[in-house]
Amino acid sequence: MALGFGRLRLSSRAFWALTPRELAAALRAFAGPARAPLDQAGLTALMSRFPD
């Protein structure tokens, strides 16, 4: 809601009328495309860099 009202400056009527897909598309404009989840190779690399 904070992003919808604050960053997107939507009215409450417009915000609640959005479908989840429409809201996700609007938020991608600020966040950029979704990143791929961390895979096993990425986790292993992080664990070797930060062994604690």
Q: How far apart are CA 18 and CA 27, in angstroms?
A: 12
pTM: 0.55
Q: How confident is the model at residue 30 (pLDDT cuts 50, 70, 90)?
A: confident
pLDDT digits (tens, 9 = 90+) for 4-29: 899 889 999 999 999 999 988 888 88
Question: What is the average pLDDT score of the chain?
Answer: 90
Range 35-48 average pLDDT: 93
pLDDT at 46: 94
Q: How far apart are CA 45 and CA 39, in angstroms?
A: 10
Nearest to 27 by CA among 6, 52, 42: 6
